[in-house]
Chain A
Amino acid sequence: MQNIFRFFQKYGTVFIFVILQLVCMVFIFSKNNPYQHSKFANSSNHFIGEIYNTSNNIRAYFHLSEENELLRIQNQILLDNSKRNRLIIGDYFSLKSDTLYMQQYYHQAVSIIQSSKDKGYNYLTINRGSTNGIKKNVGVIGTKGILGYVIASSDHYSTILPVIHPKFILSVRHKKTKSLGLLTWETANNWETATLNDISDFIPLEIGDTIETTGGDGFFPEGELVGKIKKVEDIPGKGTQLITVKLIENYGNVHSAFAIKNITQSELENLKDSTQINE
């Protein structure tokens, strides 16, 4: 018994150090799956969200003019798409308010109150949470293209898993040929680019081609911009190409964004779950 006491007297510090380090390792390795992300210790926590929000309220003044410019450009694109600017040249046309159409996606304007882009694990935090109906798997787009999707939310804040995170995976497609690929990101890419895999080597790709979302995952509507092809390499013997995509959204400068609520999301998830059971 005395020996045990003496042991702890001598090596107690080492003992505490090892135990606390083990706790850290549990955190680190369970965190690798963003869906097991802890409920309390992240930036969507109420207290931490408040601090980031206050600091953002002050910093927001410094980039108001850039922000205005971005939103004006976006408005211009939307105005160009408006129906009143179009001439009807065929006999077939449809109205947007037709009862055959049901609105599937709703946009909600949100502000990004915290962002990181140079770390191995990057996250964004937005100033809306579950009281505004933002929950897990809600997609978020910036003023130019996609940003990521929500992985955790509190009452008033949410944490977003952006494209520039190693655990991000999204099915996307090449706009011209509609061929599907998987968009991922590694630390070796910096925050301006991502990697696109699984496009067969017989599909002609050119530098500058647009990559867009498929809409099949329910996070984003079909055809939302992701980026442009920057580099294409053949992987010998595998039959696919390794594509570097220049992301259209500039993560160094994201302040306003839109959360996209998909009202058929739960339907889609139920369907996915039931197919998995059948397998």
Chain B
Amino acid sequence: MNSIIKHIIHLIGLILIQILVIDQISFGSLNTYISPIIIGTGIIILPAGWSSNRLLLIAFFVGILLDSFHNTLGINTSALLLLAFLRPLILKIVSPREGFESFVEPTVLNLKIGKYSIYASILFLCYHLTYFFLESLNSSTVLIILLKTVLSTIVALFLSLLYQYLTIKKQ
């Protein structure tokens, strides 16, 4: 129960940070190419034992909420669903041979920075690729979408590390 409340607070906090801080940051002339979305962090750090169905439902509601703020109904949700769907598969890559205990949260503190970076960057890459692809369905060349995806993923990964170092205590 305790961990459910903790994660709800994490998700709400991440949405507020996204819309009130990160969306307001200006990267100067690179602004068109860098628009990181860090809400994926909230799904990435959910306990390893939680079932995929639960992850998908959480991703759906969080996505709709963020979409309402961004006026992009469906786009964030779709990308976040993909992230939640792929998470168990990617987690297998970085987990030890016998697998994680079900309560372990795959945060940067539990996984160490190298493994976490691999795990999170693959998921953020999928997220941003889906997001920018859906956002510019009929215009924009593939090259621009890829550039946006790579740059935004790097910044999002950095911000998600920062977020975790600031908010999560070492267990």
A residues with a Cβ closer than 8 A to B are 12-13, 16-17, 20-21, 23-28, 31, 38, 40-43, 45, 48, 51-52, 55, 59, 116-121, 123, 159, 166, 186-188, 190, 252
Complex CA gap A22/B75 in Å reads 12
Contacts of B153 in A (CB 8 A): none
CA distance A43 to B63 in the complex (A): 15
Contact A25 B56 (CB under 8 A): no
Q: Tally inter-chain residue pairs, CB-CB below 8 A.
A: 97
Q: Are A28 and B78 in contact (CB under 8 A)?
A: yes
Sample (23) of A-B pairs whose CB atoms are under 8 Å apart:
A12-B53, A17-B81, A20-B77, A20-B81, A21-B78, A24-B81, A25-B74, A26-B74, A27-B73, A28-B75, A40-B68, A41-B68, A43-B68, A43-B69, A48-B68, A51-B16, A51-B20, A51-B69, A59-B24, A116-B71, A120-B132, A120-B135, A120-B140
B72 vs chain A, min Cβ distance (A): 6
CA gap between A67 and B64 in the complex, in Å: 34
Contact B73 A45 (CB under 8 A): no
B52-74 vs A, CB cutoff 8 Å, 1 = contact: the mask equals 11001100100110011111111
In the complex the two chains form, is B64's CB within 8 Å of A119's CB?
Answer: no
Q: How far is the CB of B150 from chain A (nearest CB, A)?
A: 16
Find chain B residues with CB under 8 A from A27 CB.
67, 73-74, 77
Inter-chain contact A41/B73, CB cutoff 8 Å: yes
Q: A24-B78, A59-B24, A121-B135 are in contact. Are A17 and B85 (CB under 8 A)?
A: yes
Inter-chain contact A24/B77, CB cutoff 8 Å: yes
Q: Which residues of A contact B56 (CB under 8 A)?
A: 13, 16-17, 20
Specify which chain A residues have a CB less than 8 angstroms from the CB of B107 in the assembled complex: none
Q: Give complex CA distance A119, B73 in Å.
A: 14
Query: Within the assembled complex, what's the spacing in Å between the Cα atoms of A159 and B71?
Result: 9
User: Lowest 10 CB-CB distances: which A-B pairs, in order?
Assistant: A27-B74, A120-B135, A24-B78, A28-B74, A41-B68, A123-B71, A13-B52, A24-B74, A187-B139, A27-B73
CB distance from A171 to the nearest CB of B (A): 22
Which of B26, B51, B71, B82 is in CB contact (< 8 Å) with A42? B71
